[in-house]
Amino acid sequence: IVRKLLTITRLSTDKVELKIEDIDPGEIISESVKLLSPLADQRGVSINVSIPERFMVHGDRAALLELYVNVIDNAIKYNVPPGKIDISVKKEKGFIITRIKDTGIGIPGKDLDRVFDRFYRVDISRSKEIGGIGLGLSICDEIVKLHGGRIEIESTVGTGTLVSVHLKGIEDAAQA
């Protein structure tokens, strides 16, 4: 909890210094999946990753790792066995778009506008069982904004959630 509080405080100040480098989001996603595979296995959730080609963005490796770990961790924790998570990356209109779709419990429509608010927790009984303090998606939102991108969520209760992360792409990344 303390780590998340410190992270959100640090990210929301103007003094954040990102270590910007050319990064392949696919590598960060693969690393995130590797870190979270034991939790996914334990919870009966399969993770499928589809990254047909290499894409590049300017970003801070540690921040983007935290972003993807947070989103994938939520997709695992709020899933229902035998659950499934599909992760795909594509380029569209100059943005590298990562889509993380799960077959979890979903988020009620009335809560979708608030899921990025600090300390906001969706009032679903399973949500309370899982724990947390409502900072994960707020941290993700700050990270994406610091990278000049945006994050969007679509969800249906009982069906699952789709999180889309849009980051500015670097042209001709496939030749890099």
- For position 44, what pLDDT does the model report? 97
Residues 6+ apart with CB under 8 A from 80: 103, 104, 105
Residue 41 domain flag = yes
| pLDDT at residue 134 greater than cutoff 60 | no
Structural domain count, the chain: 1
- Rounded to two decimals, the pTM is 0.84
pLDDT band (50, 70, 90) for residue 137: confident
Residue 26 domain flag = yes
Q: Which amino acid is at 62?
A: A
Kindly report, residue by residue over 98-133, the tens digit of the pLDDT: 999 999 999 888 888 877 776 556 655 444 455 554
- For position 163, what pLDDT does the model report? 97
- For position 49, what pLDDT does the model report? 98
Say if CB 22 and CB 54 are below 8 A apart.
no
Kindly report, residue by residue over 30-67, the tens digit of the pLDDT: 999 999 999 999 999 999 999 989 999 999 999 999 99
| pLDDT at residue 95 greater than cutoff 80 | yes
End-to-end CA distance of the chain: 39
Residue 102 domain flag = yes
- For position 41, what pLDDT does the model report? 97
From residue 172, alpha-carbon distances to 53, 57, 127 in Å are 12, 11, 42
- For position 149, what pLDDT does the model report? 96
| pLDDT at residue 2 greater than cutoff 50 | no
Residue 141 domain flag = yes
CATH number of the domain that residue 60 is part of: 3.30.565.10
**What radius of gyration do the chain's Cα atoms show?**
16
Kindly report, residue by residue over 65-89, the tens digit of the pLDDT: 999 999 999 999 999 999 999 999 9
**Domain hosting residue 109, numbered range:** 2-171
Residue 176 domain flag = no
